[in-house]
Amino acid sequence: MDNVDKQTHFDFVTSIVLMLLSVALIISSYRMGLEVGGDMYASPGLLPMVLAVLLLFTSFLLLKRSIQANGITKNMSEFVSWLNRFRQSKMCREFMVGGLMLALYTFVLAPRLPFWISTAIFMVALMGILKATSIVKSVMITALVVGSIYGVFQMIFHVPLP
């Protein structure tokens, strides 16, 4: 049995999450059609609904395959076991810190500060917390990236930055 077959618990959980997402998208697409009015076949919600139905179908196939391979109980117990190991790992802490930093950037810094300041703070802080490189290199990389983005999009293409 290869490594892919041993990890069907990921397929099991992913299929459930995707099925829930598909149902939410189907409902939202239907509401979009009701808000616009008219026939559903001419609604802007038709394509998202079709894609959501296809995602629901393929998610169901994935769920069926994972249940046939290991059953519900074994899939759940293997996922809970993996989740407990993951929560105690360094990778999990880095993932959570990165997610928190991204949320702070998106919801706190970007709406309140100019693009170049908020992005510079985010990049230097994230590289510092994750110990990606020295602080001097972090500042240099940040200046190069932010300057390049600002120069290309704002100055050359005249695209307003947030």
> Closest Cα partner for 79 from 129, 14, 155?
14
| Whether residue 66 sits in one domain with residue 107 | no
> How buried is residue 107: exposed, middle or buried, by Cβ count under 10 Å (0-12/13-18/19+)?
exposed
C-alpha to C-alpha distance for 127 and 98, rounded to whole angstroms: 10
Summary mean pLDDT of the chain: 91
pLDDT per residue over 11-68, tens digit each? 999 999 999 999 999 999 999 988 988 888 888 989 999 999 999 999 999 999 999 9
- Domain extent at residue 84: 3-88
The band of 1, judged by pLDDT with boundaries at 50, 70 and 90, is very low
Claim to verify: residue 41 and residue 118 sit in the same structural domain: no
DSSP-derived letter for residue 130 is T
Q: Would residue 54 count as lying in a domain? A: yes
Please give the helix or strand (H or E) that residue 108 lies within, else none: none
Same domain, 81 and 21: yes
- pLDDT beyond 60 at 4: no
What average pLDDT does range 138-142 have in this prediction? 96
- Asked if 126 and 94 touch (Cβ cutoff 8 Å), the reply is no
Q: What is the mean pLDDT of residues 83-103?
A: 89
Could you read off the pLDDT of 117-133 as tens digits, one per residue?
999 999 999 899 888 89
At which of 44, 63, 88 does a domain end?
88
Instruction: Pull the structure tokens for residue 132.
Output: 């990606």
* Residue 141: burial class (beta carbons within 10 Å; 0-12, 13-18, 19+): middle
Amino acid (1-letter code) at residue 88? Q
Q: Is the domain of 113 the same as that of 45?
A: no
Of the pLDDT bands very low, low, confident and very high (cuts 50, 70, 90), residue 140 is very high
| 85 has a pLDDT exceeding 80 | yes
